[in-house]
A and B are shown apart, each in its own frame.
Chain A
C-alpha cells in the first residue's frame, strides 16, 4: 500500500520534472550565474577590505568597518528592498537610480557576502603571528610582497572555512530575489506552482535542488580544505 503510494508519487514527480525541465533548468542556471558573480565579487571585496582592516590602513579601514557593520546588522531582504524599490525615488534635486532586476540580484548578494567575507579575511590575516611578517620583512620583502608571500597564504587558509560558509549562504540568499521577481530557481518554481497547481511536486523538486547544490558545495569544500591544509595540520 505505502509502496504503491510512494511509487505513484515518484512517477508523478518524474513527469513533473520532465514537463517543466526547461523552465526549471533556466531558473537553476540564473541561480548559479548570480551566485558565481556574487561569490567572485565577495571574494575580492573580502580579500582587499579584509587586508585593509587587518593592516589598519588609514581611511579605508574605518570605512570598511562601517560597511561591514551596516550590512551585517541589517537584514539582507531589507537591503534588497532598498536597492530595488528605495533607490528609484527622486530625492529633491537628485534623480532616482533605476537598477535592473538582474543588477540588483548579483549586486545585493555580493554586497552582503563581501561584508561577511571582509570579517572572515580580517580574522584570518590577524591570526597570522606577527613574527612571520617580521621574518618576511627581515628577508628584504616589501610590505606588499610580505603580504602576498606570507600573510595571504597562511591567513587565507585560516579564513577558508568561514569564507566558504559565507559563499554557501550567498547561494542560499539568492532565493530571496523572489521578492524582486528575478526568475531564479525559487521564483521559477513558484511560477510553475501557480500554473500547474502541482504544489507538492514543485516544492519537492525545489528543496531537493537546493540540498543537492548546498551539500555538493560543502563536500567539495571539505576536499579543498584537506588539500590546502598546512603541512603540519595534515
Chain B
C-alpha cells in the first residue's frame, strides 16, 4: 500500500503553516499567562482588600467565561467600542488565551506563595530585602518549584485551546487542516473532488496527541517528584 499523492503537499502545508501557527500562538499565550498570572497571584497575597477584590474579579470573570466567548469579545466587540482596539485573529486569540491562562496561573501562584513558611519572609526582611526583593529573590524561587506541575498542565491546556483560534480564522493546525479538506473537496484543477476529512482531522488529533501526551506525563511526574 502506497501513500496517495495528495498527502505530501497537505502534510507539508499543515506542518509548516498550521503547526507553526499553533506553536506561535501557544508561545505568546504561555509567556503572557505566566507573566501576568504570577504578578497578579503574588499581589493577591497582600492583605489590602480593594486590590484583592479587583484581582479576584479578574480571575473569576476570565475563568468563568468560555474561552471562545472571550475571544469573540476581543475580536468583534472591542472594535465596535473603538476602532483602535481592532486586532488581527492571531493577536485576538493570544490575548483571549492570556486572559484565561493568567487567571489560572494567578490562582495557582497564590496557593504556592502562601505555602512558603512565614520564617522565609521574616528571614528575607531581616536581611534587608524590601517587598519586591523579598518576593523576587526569596519567595518566588521557592514557590516556582510548587508551581511547575500546574504550569506544565497549563501549557498542555493552552496548546489544545489554541484550536479555538480556528473559529476566528487564525492560521493554526486545525484551520490549516480545514483549508486542506475544503481544497481537496473542490473539483479539479484546484482539488480532487474527494472528501478527506476523516484522514485529515484524525491526523490533527494525532499531532496534538504526540505533543500533549509527553507533557501530561511530565506534569504527573513533576507532581509526584516535587511535592
**Chain A residues packing against B (C-beta within 8 Å):** 69-70, 72-79, 81-82, 85-89, 91, 96, 172-173, 175-176, 178-179, 186, 190, 193, 199-200, 202-204, 206-207, 210-211, 214-215
Contacts and interface: CB of A to CB of B under 8 A. Distances in A.
A215 B209 contact: no
B7 interface: no
Highest count of chain A CB atoms <10 Å: which of B60, B77, B166, B213: B77
- Name which of B69, B166, B196, B200 has the most chain A CB atoms within 10 A of its CB: B69
Indicate the size class of the contact surface on chain B. Answer: 35 or more
Given A176-B164, A179-B167, A74 B208 contact: yes
B209 A74 contact: yes
A175 B67 CA distance: 9
A24 B159 CA distance: 32
B196 A175 contact: no
Contact of A176 (B68, B76, B162, B178): B68
Which of B76, B200, B205, B209 lies at the interface centre, i.e. has the most chain A CB atoms within 10 A of its CB? B205
Contacts of B68: 175-176, 178, 186
25 contacts: A70-B209, A72-B216, A73-B208, A74-B160, A74-B208, A74-B212, A75-B161, A77-B163, A77-B164, A82-B205, A86-B198, A86-B200, A86-B202, A87-B198, A89-B197, A91-B198, A172-B67, A176-B68, A178-B68, A179-B166, A186-B68, A186-B72, A204-B77, A206-B72, A207-B73
A75 B208 contact: yes
Contacts of A210: 64-66, 69
Is chain B's interface secondary structure helix, strand, loop, or mixed overall? helix
Interface in B36-67: 60-61, 64-67
Contact of B81 (A78, A173, A175, A200): A200
A215 B56 CA distance: 13
Contacts of B60: 211, 215
Nearest to B77: A203
B204 to A, nearest CB: 5
A190 B66 CA distance: 15
B144 interface: no
A87 to B, nearest CB: 7
Contact of B73 (A69, A79, A172, A203): A203
Contacts, number: 111
B113 interface: no
A22 B162 CA distance: 33
Contact of A200 (B69, B80, B164, B216): B80
Contacts of A203: 69, 72-73, 76-77
Contacts of A82: 198, 201-202, 205
Contacts of B72: 186, 190, 203, 206
A193 to B, nearest CB: 7
Interface string B76-97: 1100110000000000000000
Nearest to A217: B64
A85 B201 contact: yes
A200 B76 CA distance: 9
Nearest to B162: A75
B108 to A, nearest CB: 14
B208 A85 contact: no
Nearest to B211: A73
Interface string B188-219: 00000001111011101100110011001000
